[in-house]
Each structure stands twice: as structure tokens, then as C-alpha cells.
Structure 1
């Protein structure tokens, strides 16, 4: 038996006595049980509490998305459903073409390519706990890091009965990660017969992106068992960025200003060792044999100003018009293929004692794409690679070197500052992921009476793993590039080495050259979860205002994660984004107790007043122990009016990636405030930036890393709310039912684990001379930023608060059918991150930053009509206006408020429509559905600061309409 299996088995053995012994003792005191067939169990367990109860409206707000709600949405994945809730924030999805220059974020989780997550209250996906049938799900793996959140693409939509979303802190109930809330996915259990669901969808204004899928299910029951098995297939085709105008340029409205300086013809910044003249040139036509004539006019005068002189040789001064447009190579929508099988069975050994087994296997094949990988060589390259920045010698003997002298980064007098070459001959970078997730759980459960009071218990064991392999083509070996650019005789001595031509322009890198420098890179990652838990709930005794109920339990969890980049990457020979291996594990032992205490019943104060109390003790193998608590009140003022509130403490331990993620790189698009302004900006002069300084590339490499010195996050959450169902709206001529709800929420997170915004760091150093910010990066003698460190830390405090408003109105049934409306709105009144130095970070309500936004108001209004077998739905999804900083780029037309240096992203409303018809006349449960999402083809607002495709893919839909058709039937 392995050590891990031994620990898991030990946890189960320890859990059994804690649960079974009290049951046995109490059962001896209990009278003989009544006839099981006469038992009526009218209590349920609602997300947010472990206590089974009859009241569905508890002390905390839980939004329930039924199977009908999911089908009516027209969405094809769990992620799409929950990401469109008004309380959801920016989260990863398949619209993110997230490989390439995105590199590796500081949390060590990798880019999550092809994954989809959920964010609640804009607090980040890692602060949302995802459960399946009340039990934790394994974290994602995308072969680029050790993720700290669940990939919802591992859970097929077809197996879901409903989704319960708790929008409140719940660490004392469920443990770590439940700071912002809980998403509990309830699977299908009561199914009778077989079913088939077929669906197809496509975009009307874009080429590609068509989706299709099939879901098969079969369920049934006997006197002692219930079962359900299902299989799903889903395929989504890719869409090129060329399909959408704003996505086919680096940044919309800026021309080539934000294009790359690594071009197919090449950019060469060097110093002539014979004259001392510094050149910044590019070939006129990309000729195969350019001739360099020493002494030609340099591109800038002594003051650093462009000379505007047309050179007489085969080169000209590099300018904005020469930059490379990398955007057409990207993807607007990434391809994804998902296959899954699922099965579960509940067996009743006796009427009061049963067991279950639940199994799932899911495989995802997805891909991302980026422009051909560039070579950045020279002392100004800033790519953190010795082969490119410190040991390179492009020999004068290289047959393709037109300059007649060595270009070198080595020694005391390097003269190669920047060589940017985009080898389009090698094709685009393609990252293909193969992700396998399997999940196995089993357990025992039962019910019994203690003094005529119902009790229930369960024991659960889970083992789950997500593992992935990513294959990267179109990248390069920088060591071999170094060798191929050196002395031809040294290259000839290396088997397979072929001299490389980086000076000749497009098509001059031959297949033989590519064969030497272009490898296939394979990365792997894995996340595993082992869990054992035992729970007991029931009524303890009769209090002065009703029965006092409780729930208690123990849980053991073990996490293991690893990321293994290709050996080429580990050796430092990968030309692309570097990363190191990651590996770690830790375990948690927990115990919790929850009590529901009726305080008053039927009096002058109202109908009822209930107090809930919960506490959890957690012991982490790497942090020690901690305690969290929660208190809630539920005041039923009248049958139609409810007040409720809660205060909760939260706790989130750093994930494996956050702790042990090794040094990697993120290529951030940043605007250096000293760019072309050093001579006139006193702060830049004081910083020693030369007057002729020009930022070599809009992308500046930022080194990121996990941090073993991290401390856990702690949080405090406050919720106050009211629910009113006025009696005058019940069964009236104008209303069958009206429900009104309002909730105020407030979250405070101390010791928040994240990295600071790199652009803000840069601005604070230059304009504020903040010594802490200035310590994050350094410049070389030419002013170029050659080191930028942004290591993960406990950076400060996050505070957010806001309001949720809910209105549900159902009209009386008429001859023309039944009509109902549902309106949900979230208003974010505050969001701030104050770093450890007491300085506010730029993220705030109404602001777009770093491909994510916090709209002040988001709202969804839906109308549903039904008559006989016909039904129809119309919904409107509203996103409030946003603003973004232009980063000093007021010269661009997109920046519509030059006085405040901002760009406005107007409010956006998407309209969705659906029509369905159902009948049993042809076959069982036959249903056909037609729908259109984004009926009016609304395009997302253009975004200057969004680094891909010109819009914020985490906030807005793809441009254009999406139509779909579904057919379902049973037998």
C-alpha cells in the first residue's frame, strides 16, 4: 500500500468511529423505527448549510438554476451558464486564446489553455469552491502549470439536474476556497428510461465556430436501486482573428504603434565597432544579399531625434510602419473537443441504509494559436536567456552577415543591442492540449430516528485526477540558433548544424535551417485530489421555540500537483516563454459543527426567528491549524416577508502553484512613460534614461514566480437581505405570484495573494519615485528595461461590496398561455485593492484593466411564455459602461477623452431568443428547440488595453449572432 493510500485509508478509519459510534449509542436509546414505507422525508440539504431542513429560503442567498433554466439559456457548457450570472466576474473561457505571450501568471497555475472557470464577486476563480453533489472537484490541469481552480469543462452539461450558487462566504461550512461563494452542481439521479439529445449551432457573421454535440442517457430504478449512466460528445470549431476587423490588428485604433519590432525582414539595432555609430535599421525589401556601406547616416541625430534621411544602401531607419501585425495569426474562438462518460448508482441495502458509487471520465482536446515565434537577440532583448542576451556572437564569417564584423552580446564591449526577426517560414505557434480527468467516489449513507427525531449520516471517499499534455509546434531552440549564427566552422563540427540566415527577409530561412532550430515541445501537468469525509445531521432536542438541529463532520483531503515542462525548457534552450518545473503536495484535516437554533415562534415579533452557528477547525500540513466561524439570522416577519443576515470568517490556503511555482515569464504589453519622452521628463532624466531612449518593444518581459513564504488569506463576509412575496400579488387578476429580493454583500480579504499590476508599478516608479516600485525592475545603460520581477505575494487588502436585486413575476394562466418574468441585477458599489504599502491598485468598478472588468451594474431580464407543448423565451443581458486608461496614448483616435486620458466602452445589451415545441405523441419526451443568442448581432466595445482581439473576452460575447437547434427524445 502506497503512503498516500495508507493516509487516505487511515482517514476513513478515523472518520468511521466518530460517526458510527454516536449513531450506535443513540440508536440503542431509540424506540423501534416506524414502518419505513410510512416514513415521509420532507427535508432537503441546500447549498450553504449541512443541516437538512424544509425551508428553502435559508440564512444565505442561494441562486438555483434548474434544468429548464439551463436549457433555456442556449449555452453549451457549465462555464457559459455560470459566467453569465450577474454576480460573476471575469473568468477564463474558450474565447481566450491564452497561450504564447501570455506565458505563465504569478499564481503558478499556467495559462489554463482550453479551460473554463467561474469567478464570483470579481474576487477570482481561485476563491470560488466548486462542488459536485456537495463534494469537492479536482482542480484543472492544462499542461502549463498547477492550477488552483476547477475547469468546468471537465463536467458535462448533460449530467446536471441543477446548479446551486451560494453568493456568500462559506469557509466554516465547506473549508478553504469558499471565500467568494460556492457553486454546487447537482447531478441527475431520478431518471426513468433512455434519452438522446442532439444539438448544432453556428455563428452567422463569422466563418467557423460551429458546434455540435450528442448526449445519451439511461436511468432507472428498482425496489432497492437507482442508477443513471450517460455519455456526451461536444465539438467546437475555431474562428480566426481575421474574421473580426478589430481583432485583425494589434490594438484597434492605433495602427501599427503596438505592433512587434520582430518582423519578417528583421530589425537590427547595433553599434559599428569601427565608427561608434549606433544604427536602428531594417532592410528596404528583404533582399537576400543586402549590402552594408559603413558611414551611412544614422537614424537619429545627437539629441536622439529622427533624422528623416533616406539611406543610400539597402536599409532604412526602422519606424512604426515597419512593425509587424501579429494579430491575424491569433484565434477569436479556440477549438475544443470534449468526450465524457458518467455513471452513478445508489443502492439501498435496507430501507434506512444505502451506498453509492459515482464515476466520471472526461477527455478534452483543445488548441491555441499565436503568431510565428520571434527571435529577440541582444542586450536589450529582455528575454532572460543567456543564449540571446549574454553569450551570443553572430560571426562576421557567417555567410549571411552583411555587416562585415561580429555582432555580439558577450564581453565588455557588446555591440548587438537588439535583433528582432519573425521567422514566418516556420508557421504560427500552435499549442494543443490533451486533458484527461477521471473521478471516482463511493460512500455509505443512512437515516435513523433518535427519540422520534430524524437523523441522517453519510461517509464519502473520493479519488480524482486531472492530467494534461501540451504539444507546442512552431517554437525554436535558442541554443541552436546561437550555434547556427556563429562561426561556420564551429557549426560544421556539430552534427546537423546549418548556418542560419536572419538577415535576408521572408523565405530565406530554408527547410534545412528550420530542421535544425525548430523542435516539438511537450509539457505535462497533473493535479490530484484524495478525500474522505463523514457527516451527521439531525435534531438534537426540542428547544423553547422548536427543535434544535445540528450537523457535524470530519474531512481529510490531500492535494498533489506537478508541472513538468519539456527538457528543452528546463535546460534554458527554449526560445519562447521560459518556465521551470513545479511539484508539491499538502494535506488537510478538518472538523466542523453547525447548529440551527430556533429563538422564537409565532409572536408579536412575527412568525419565527432562527439563529445559525457554524465553526470549522482546519489543520494544514504546511501551515498549521486555523479556525473559522459563521453566524446567521433568519427572521420570518410574516408569511410573505423574510429578513436574513450572516457574518462569516473565511480562509484560503495558497495553492501548490502559488507556493511552489518556479520562475517563469509573462510578456506584458506595457507603455514605458519614458518612451520618446526621456529628454523632457525630469523623472526619467533623474533615473539616468538617455535622452534618445525609445522603448524597443511594446511587450516587456516580466518574471513571475510562486512564493513559499506566502501566508494564507483570511476574509470577512457580511450579508444582509430581504425577501418579500406580497400576498396581494398571489392569485390576483394581474398576478399569480410576485417575489422581490434584495441582498447587500460585503467582502474583505486580508493578505490577498496576487501580483501587483506591472503598468502601475512602472508608473509609480517614474512619476512617484516610489522606491518599492522602482525595486521591481532595472534598466541598462541604454534605458531599456532588462529585468522586471513581479513575484507573487500577500500584497494587501481587497474590499468589495454591492447589492443584488431580484424580481420574479408570474402572471395568471390565460387562454393564450402562461407568462413569467425574472429580473436579476447586481450593482457593485465598491472594489478596491490596497497594496501592502497602502497604495490603491487601479482595479475598480466601472474600469477595464488587464482583459477584465468590473461593471458597476449587470442585469438580466428574461420573459418565458408557455402554452400546451409550445414555449418561448426572450432575455436581455445588460453590461454597464466602462472606462479604461489610455496609458498616455492620447494621440490615438480610440482615446475619446484626452483630458482624462481615457477611452469609454459603452454599455452593451445582448438579446437572446428561443422557441421550443414538445410532445409525447411521436415519441417519449420529444422536444425540438430553435434559438438565437445575440439576436441583433451586437459587437463588443473596442478595448485599447485588451491584449488579444481588441475586446474583453471575459466580459463580452463574441461578435455577431449565434443560432442553434436541438432535438431531444426518449424511449
Structure 2
């Protein structure tokens, strides 16, 4: 396996080095003609090549210096730290295992890093690289609808531009919440070698990386080659006090009922007594005599209690290991003064892993797995290890068996993800009369292929055969009777060999596209030139997901799923024009109108037109006002359209169950109407939920509004107080109609119990004992998502003085409204200041950075602030950890992180830079999250795993 990895990496590096030979050939035949420098460029947020980009649209730019200041090694982690970002997947999500299959068919991209803007979801953010759409991830458990930013090496990035505005009219589908445009390094001269080492103060989470960059420019060509390697070690949940139990502050109350010794709930056919028992410690071959007297038994069993529950958190990860290799080459050549071309090649490989506790085996009607092999099992009285002396039959006397075979080790999911990108194009100038037009044509092909190998899971078909009639087992080669009745160590290697397979899943996403663009001046009106951009784009998307054959036939004990395959193409035309309405006067005042529109025709039968209109008024030289309105579109993804029915185990609290301290349900009458008997206690917190795609989905549509200003006060410019001051404020509002998603499963269950409305209850079935044994949670076009808020930024550059040069940047996002309403008008629980389903929407997020430079020294101090959040106590209201038990509400207090960095540049070769930094300087722990399904943390809002992170970076230029 290791040899294969090196071989593939070697192929990529050899390919990149082959590209490196091209500049030499080209430079050898260069003419001495000067390259014509264009003063017009294309910026994110407009297709019109312009020399006056300031204030056109709200774009946040992260320079290479900004990126280096973070001390982070993933583009995803950097963007997720922006104040306008929402919750998105990253390597702090230990996410295969029981995290499940999203209803959109995308699977769980374990080890990936995604981006969410305005809390509208990563699927509604378009990711570009050099202005060209990037391929979506393939998660190895579905067909992804979001981009994995870990497929783009950080070492090749020159800057990142984040458009915080709807842009479907300019870029097409998926740009509802905004656009992230990653600009690669191009005009780079020389060589650079840099390395970084980092570690948490607990002595874990060690990370290391090595980057190499080489660039060369001639009179008519330039070339850049970047090689990158990053390796991040894991951090275990057990090594942080807060995450060492399933739910912080509750001990084993929320632990699993599947234990290494086993939990057995059944009715003794000889006495009619219902037992809920587990073997005593050390009873590897427990003896059952049927006795019970107020839980004082005379055999080798005792009544199951909270103290017997299994602490699965001891096996989980807070930070998942990830190793990434990348090679990128870019060559540009000017054929003459009016025509140039380029070619780009990228290969990136990610090898990551996540881990869960040893897989539980749940059997019987209360198992809730949705797999008939487990739910309808019959364990023979003839099984040589069965101590009860009678059949355990799901149709008569068996209620639930939970056994966790620690002998098989933890579940480990290994991901190998390969990304290829090949792009090329031509660009140039045309003279039409006295006017110059800019044109370009581009083609690109990108592929993302993922493989996930799962060790530690089980074959439920083989389990059922090994627990049944020994004669039937003996007739099948390899089958040996299984002992699930004894303690740890009673499942032998021979038994494991029969029931424990290696499960392999694969998926792939491909994107092929062609674009042609034309930009220039149409004519002059009374106020100046009317500039335009127009073009066409055709792209084809194809994706598939192939689970292991064992999973397809229903023999996999874990999360069942079926294959997915689909494809579609889209052809689009767009036009954009900037129309000056008032010419610039002596005070610098100027008014411009921007109009844009895109027509999209999908092979799935969807045809849409999305317009945009904007106004930019430069009131005076120092003040710019702007406003825009845009309609957006997001077509259903391949997984959303064609995703086959899949199931995942979702950890949920049944509102009809007694609480952990015996508290009665809040609505006993409705629970009785649903068939739940009085005194019911939920035996298994993990409920199997069925999800799947819907080929009848309509596209999402959106309306986006933005209103803002940029003020650069002239009385402060070049003064004793400041060299430059910029104050920017933007009001935003997004409304998404027909949002493609499934109602949150916990919300659906809560609303079913509270209202008995068939809208929520249809698809939820219960066993005669009261437990949920079926849960259908399919995709649909839900109602409306509305959100608005403010971005308020202040940039202050101080004049250089005796103590050096200082620059400060203060960025803030305030969320005013966030409302999600289902198709039938049901409100969803998300909102400003609310934490739900592993994601929070802080009312205020803020970042402050102070830079300092003096000679060869430089330093930075950063502050990141997240305002208070509130959440449901999720069954923990009876514990002190719940801050407001009377209202079943827990408070996540406001959290502030401080990051510092100090660097010195030595006068050695072209420069040797040594930097030392500490993130989370004051050792701020993330607040306890009781509703989060992962380790008691919100892994996308806060720094996980907590503790100081020290790093040192060395950079040599030569």
C-alpha cells in the first residue's frame, strides 16, 4: 500500500518536473521584444476587465502575508476563520462511523475541509481557482456537492478572494452565498524552500510540512512549479477532559448500551419475566438460572444500569490525521504582443483516517438498525455458547441484545483521495476600430477520486448464521459458532475471521468545462465608456459512488447504502455591462450602473435566467456607496437527484423516553397515541435513519441584496495619525426558496411527538415495545431560508516611525436574522445565537489583527471573538452541566482566542525568514456543547481540541 502511494506521487512529481523543462525550451527562443503590460485585470465579482476595481463588490482579500500570519496549513481552516463563514466540515470532524450519510447523497467527506458563507451551507458556495470552477469532492461515501479545499495545496496560493455576495449571474450555479476565488502564484522569480513544525502543548497533534517553489520569468514567458507535503497527527478524545465521556459532565449516562460483556433484554418463556441484564465482571461463561428478586440475582448476571454503559469516547478522535502531497505546474507563453497561452497541471493526494469505537452489534426488534437480518434474528438454543437454554426469537421473546466486540478493535476508516486538474487556454486582444477587446478561451478537466477502506466492521449475515443452528453453520465453509454471551476475549480469532470483513467503498466526481469570454468597451455615452463582458460556458458533470458489494446486498452490519451514478451537462450564456450614469466631476463624484444576466440550460430539463443589477456612487474621492440585487440559482447535485436510499445511525433523544434520571416524557398522552407504553426507556440512542435523493427536485432560487459604503477619510490620510484608513460597512440579505434538504431528524422526531402531525410522523415507525424501528428522512424542496446581517470592517495603517510600522485590521460580522421554514410552514431550530446539529450561528463574530514591522523584525497579534450561543440540553437537563435546566437550555459562553507570531529575516542568500507563533495563547477551551454529536464540541465554530498550539516556520529564498 505504501509502495503504491510513493509510485503515484513519483508519477506526479515527474510530470511536474517535465513541465519544468518547458520554460528552458521557450526561453531559448525568446525574442527581445518587451511584453505589453495591460492595465486592466479581472477581479472577483465582475467579468469586466477593469483598472478601477475598488468598491465594485464586497470582496475580502487574503494576501500571502495574511495567510502566513495564521500559522495554519489548510485553505479550509483559514477561510473557516473568517467572520462571515459558517459551519462546515473539517479535519476536526471524526466523521465516518456514526456521523452518517447526509440526505443529499453526498456522503461524508471525512478528512475534507469545506467552506460555508452566511450559514447557508457549503453547497451554496462556489469555489474557483484562477476564476475557473473547481471539481466537487468525492467523499468515498457518496457523490459530493461541495468542494474539498484540501485538494488545493496551500503552497501554490498567491492570494484568496472571497466574494460575500450572490453571483449566479456571473458564475452560474452554486454561487448563492458567495464565491471563493483562489489565485495561484504566477509571476514568481527564484526558488523558495519552507518548512513548518507545530504541536499542541499537551504534546500531541504534531504537524509538519515542507514546500518548494520555483519560478522563472523571461521576456515572453513565465513558469511556476510548486511541490507541497503536509502531515498532521491525530489527537484522541480521551486526552482532553471535556471530551473523555460521551456527553461532558454526565458520566456514563449517555454511554452506549452495547458493552463488551453484552446487554440482554428478553422475556423468559419459562417464567414470563422480562429481563434486562448483563453478565457480572469476570463471567466469561455466565450461568443463567432465571432467578430474579428485586435485581438481587443468584446467577452470573445483574440488572443493567447506567454504570454498565460503554464509554465510546475513549476511542474517538478530536483531530483526525491527514497527510497531503501536491504538485502544481503553470507555464505561460506570449506568442506575440497580442496573444498568449497557458497550461496548468495539478496533482494532489490526501491520505486521512478517522476512528470510532469498536463497532456494536445490536440484535432484536429494538435494535433499530433497519436491517432485517439484525432486527428479525433468531438465536438458537443449540448455539454452544447460549447460556439461556431457549431460543432468543425476535418475533416472540427477544427485545434487544447489545454486544460490543472489543476483540475486533476500533473501527478505522482510511481515505485515499486523488485530485487531477489539467487546464489550458488562449487569451489576447482584438482591435475593433479604435477600441480594444479582451478575449480568452479556456478548457479544463478535473477529477476527484476517493477510496475508503474500513477495518473493524462486521458482516451481519455471517453473524446471524453463526448464532443460529450449529448444523446450518457447519454446512458453510469458514463458519464457526459465535459467542456474544461472554466477556471481553471470548470472541476468538476464528470467530472474528468469519464475521469481520474489510469494507471498501469508492466514489468519483468529474468536471469538464469550456469557456469563452469577451470584454471591452461597447461605446461612449454622455458619462463615459460603457464597458461590457460576455461569454459562454459549457460544462459536464459526472459522478458515481460504489459501496462495497457486502453493503449493497445488505450484509454490512454498519451503515447500509446503495450505489449512485448520474451525469448532466449545462450550457450557459452571460452578459455584463457597466454603464456610467454620471461622469466624474472635480469633487471625484461618479455614478455607475452595473447590469448582468445569465441564461442556463440544463440537460435535466431546467432552464433559468438569473439577473443582477448594481449601483456604485463615488460621492467624493473618499466615499463610495454601493447597492446590488441579484437572483441566484443552485441546481440539484448528482447526489441530490440520483442518490440511492441509504441509512445512517443518528444519535437522537426520543422525547417519549424516560430521562436519564427517570424524568417522565413531556407529552405522555401523545407518546401513548404513538404506541409507546408508560415507563418506556430508550435502550439505544443511535437510531437508523433512511435518506435518499429525489429526481423530481426543483432548483433552489434565491434573492440577494447588498447595501454598503467604503469611506477613506482624507483628513486622516498621510497624517500623523495614519497613513491610510478605510472604513467599510455592508448590509446583506439572502432569501433561498425551495431549499433542497431534509428536515433535521431530531427536529422531525420532536415535532412528531409534539404535534402528531402526519407531515412529521409519516415514515417514523415503532416496535410494539415502543422503540423506533424505522425512520424515513428524505430530500425535498423545503420552504424558505432567510438571513441578513452586517459586515463592519476597519483598516488602519499607521505611519512609519521610530518604533516601526503598525497596521491594524478589525473585521466584524453581525447576524440580524436567520430563519428556516419547512415546506409546510414549520420553523426550524436554527437562528442567531443558537447552536443546533453541530453548528452554531453566533450573533457576532469578530477578528482583530495588529501587524508590526521594524527592520528585519515582524510580529502580529490576532484576536478572534465568538459571541454567546444557546442550545438544548439534549437530555442532560438533570445534570449540573446544563446551565439552565428549568428551561432545558445550555449556554455556550462567548469565546475569545489570541494568536501571536514573531519573525526575523536574516540577510542570508535572498533571505532567510524564521517565525515562531502560538495560536490560542491563553489556553481558551471551547465551550461545552451538549447537543453536538462529536465529543461535546462544535468542531466548526471553535478551536478544537483546545490548548495552545506552538509552531515554528523557516523559509529560505534563493
TM-score, normalised via structure 2 length: 0.95
- Residue 951 of structure 1 deviates from its aligned partner by 0.7
Change (3 A) 1:195 1:871: same
3-state SS of paired residue (1:113): coil
Aligned counterpart in structure 1 of residue 82 of structure 2, from 80, 85, 88: 85
Inter-partner Cα distance in structure 1 for 2:951 and 2:390: 63
Q: Which residue of 1 aligns with 2:45?
A: 48
3-state SS of paired residue (2:159): strand
Inter-partner Cα distance in structure 2 for 1:769 and 1:908: 39
Inter-partner Cα distance in structure 1 for 2:875 and 2:358: 29
Given that residues 145 and 657 in structure 1 are in contact (C-alpha distance below 8 angstroms), is that contact kept between their aligned partners in structure 2?
yes
Q: Which residue of 2 aligns with 1:898?
A: 885
Given that residues 285 and 487 in structure 2 are in contact (C-alpha distance below 8 angstroms), is that contact kept between their aligned partners in structure 1?
no
Spell out the pairing of 1:402-551 with structure 2 (5 A cutoff).
Answer: 402-409=387-394, 413-551=395-533
Aligned counterpart in structure 1 of residue 119 of structure 2, from 118, 122, 136: 122
Deviations for 1:870-928, whole angstroms, at most 9, x for unmatched residues? Answer: 11100100000101011353201111112321000000000000111124x31113211
Deviations for 1:559-603, whole angstroms, at most 9, x for unmatched residues? Answer: 000010000000100001111111100000001000000000135
Unaligned 5+ segments in structure 1 are 1-34, 298-307
3-state SS of paired residue (2:67): helix
Given that residues 291 and 298 in structure 2 are in contact (C-alpha distance below 8 angstroms), is that contact kept between their aligned partners in structure 1?
no
TM-score, normalised via structure 1 length: 0.93
Inter-partner Cα distance in structure 2 for 1:727 and 1:890: 56
Aligned counterpart in structure 2 of residue 772 of structure 1, from 756, 759, 771: 759
- Residue 292 of structure 1 deviates from its aligned partner by 1.5
- Residue 624 of structure 1 deviates from its aligned partner by 2.6
Given that residues 547 and 597 in structure 1 are in contact (C-alpha distance below 8 angstroms), is that contact kept between their aligned partners in structure 2?
yes
Inter-partner Cα distance in structure 2 for 1:693 and 1:893: 24
- 1:831 matched to 2:818? The reply is yes
Given that residues 667 and 754 in structure 2 are in contact (C-alpha distance below 8 angstroms), is that contact kept between their aligned partners in structure 1?
no
Given that residues 730 and 791 in structure 2 are in contact (C-alpha distance below 8 angstroms), is that contact kept between their aligned partners in structure 1?
yes
Q: Which residue of 1 aligns with 2:15?
A: none
- 1:319 matched to 2:315? The reply is no
- Residue 496 of structure 1 deviates from its aligned partner by 0.7
Change (3 A) 1:361 1:926: same
- 1:934 matched to 2:942? The reply is no
- 1:814 matched to 2:801? The reply is yes
Inter-partner Cα distance in structure 2 for 1:196 and 1:739: 35
- Residue 465 of structure 1 deviates from its aligned partner by 0.4
Q: Which residue of 1 aligns with 2:358?
A: 372
3-state SS of paired residue (1:720): strand
Deviations for 1:317-356, whole angstroms, at most 9, x for unmatched residues? Answer: 1111111100010111100000110001111111110111
Q: Which residue of 1 aligns with 2:681?
A: 694
- Residue 85 of structure 1 deviates from its aligned partner by 0.5
Inter-partner Cα distance in structure 1 for 2:665 and 2:839: 31
Q: Which residue of 2 aligns with 1:210?
A: 206
Given that residues 162 and 186 in structure 1 are in contact (C-alpha distance below 8 angstroms), is that contact kept between their aligned partners in structure 2?
yes
- Residue 54 of structure 1 deviates from its aligned partner by 1.4
- Residue 74 of structure 1 deviates from its aligned partner by 1.3
Q: Which residue of 1 aligns with 2:661?
A: none
- Residue 286 of structure 1 deviates from its aligned partner by 4.8
3-state SS of paired residue (2:98): helix
3-state SS of paired residue (2:760): helix
Given that residues 138 and 450 in structure 2 are in contact (C-alpha distance below 8 angstroms), is that contact kept between their aligned partners in structure 1?
yes
- 1:348 matched to 2:358? The reply is no
- Count of matched residue positions in the alignment of Structure 1 and Structure 2: 921
Q: Which residue of 2 aligns with 1:394?
A: 379
Q: Which residue of 2 aligns with 1:669?
A: 651
Aligned counterpart in structure 2 of residue 265 of structure 1, from 261, 265, 270: 261
- 1:950 matched to 2:936? The reply is yes
Given that residues 590 and 617 in structure 2 are in contact (C-alpha distance below 8 angstroms), is that contact kept between their aligned partners in structure 1?
yes
- 1:288 matched to 2:287? The reply is no
- Residue 618 of structure 1 deviates from its aligned partner by 0.4
- Residue 678 of structure 1 deviates from its aligned partner by 5.9
Q: Which residue of 2 aligns with 1:137?
A: 134
3-state SS of paired residue (1:594): strand
Inter-partner Cα distance in structure 2 for 1:468 and 1:887: 35
Given that residues 788 and 816 in structure 2 are in contact (C-alpha distance below 8 angstroms), is that contact kept between their aligned partners in structure 1?
yes
Deviations for 1:685-737, whole angstroms, at most 9, x for unmatched residues? Answer: 22221113111111211111111121110000000000000011111111111
- Residue 102 of structure 1 deviates from its aligned partner by 0.9
3-state SS of paired residue (1:515): helix
Given that residues 103 and 664 in structure 1 are in contact (C-alpha distance below 8 angstroms), is that contact kept between their aligned partners in structure 2?
no
- Residue 451 of structure 1 deviates from its aligned partner by 3.2
Q: Which residue of 2 aligns with 1:220?
A: 216
- Residue 55 of structure 1 deviates from its aligned partner by 1.5
Given that residues 337 and 366 in structure 1 are in contact (C-alpha distance below 8 angstroms), is that contact kept between their aligned partners in structure 2?
yes
Deviations for 1:613-633, whole angstroms, at most 9, x for unmatched residues? Answer: 000000000033110000000
Given that residues 655 and 666 in structure 2 are in contact (C-alpha distance below 8 angstroms), is that contact kept between their aligned partners in structure 1?
no
- 1:637 matched to 2:623? The reply is no
Inter-partner Cα distance in structure 2 for 1:878 and 1:862: 12
Inter-partner Cα distance in structure 2 for 1:578 and 1:686: 31
- Residue 40 of structure 1 deviates from its aligned partner by 5.1
3-state SS of paired residue (1:967): strand
Inter-partner Cα distance in structure 1 for 2:665 and 2:120: 38
Q: Which residue of 2 aligns with 1:753?
A: 740
- 1:334 matched to 2:320? The reply is yes
Deviations for 1:54-94, whole angstroms, at most 9, x for unmatched residues? Answer: 12224310111111111111111111111100000001111
Aligned counterpart in structure 1 of residue 858 of structure 2, from 860, 867, 871: 871
Q: Which residue of 1 aligns with 2:572?
A: 590
3-state SS of paired residue (2:739): strand
Inter-partner Cα distance in structure 2 for 1:680 and 1:357: 65
3-state SS of paired residue (2:169): helix
3-state SS of paired residue (2:539): strand
Given that residues 237 and 334 in structure 1 are in contact (C-alpha distance below 8 angstroms), is that contact kept between their aligned partners in structure 2?
yes
Deviations for 1:617-658, whole angstroms, at most 9, x for unmatched residues? Answer: 000000331100000000000000000010000000011111
Of 832-841 and 267-276, deviating more is 267-276
- Residue 538 of structure 1 deviates from its aligned partner by 0.4
Given that residues 678 and 691 in structure 1 are in contact (C-alpha distance below 8 angstroms), is that contact kept between their aligned partners in structure 2?
no
Change (3 A) 1:128 1:874: same
Spell out the pairing of 1:597-616 with structure 2 (5 A cutoff).
Answer: 597-603=579-585, 607-616=589-598
Q: Which residue of 2 aligns with 1:657?
A: 639
- Residue 760 of structure 1 deviates from its aligned partner by 1.6
Given that residues 35 and 220 in structure 2 are in contact (C-alpha distance below 8 angstroms), is that contact kept between their aligned partners in structure 1?
no
Given that residues 366 and 400 in structure 2 are in contact (C-alpha distance below 8 angstroms), is that contact kept between their aligned partners in structure 1?
yes
3-state SS of paired residue (1:313): coil
- Two-structure CA RMSD over aligned residues (Å): 1.4
Inter-partner Cα distance in structure 2 for 1:742 and 1:229: 39
Change (3 A) 1:852 1:678: closer
Unaligned 5+ segments in structure 2 are 1-31, 659-663
- Residue 38 of structure 1 deviates from its aligned partner by 9.3
Inter-partner Cα distance in structure 2 for 1:250 and 1:723: 48
- Residue 273 of structure 1 deviates from its aligned partner by 2.1
Q: Which residue of 2 aligns with 1:199?
A: 196
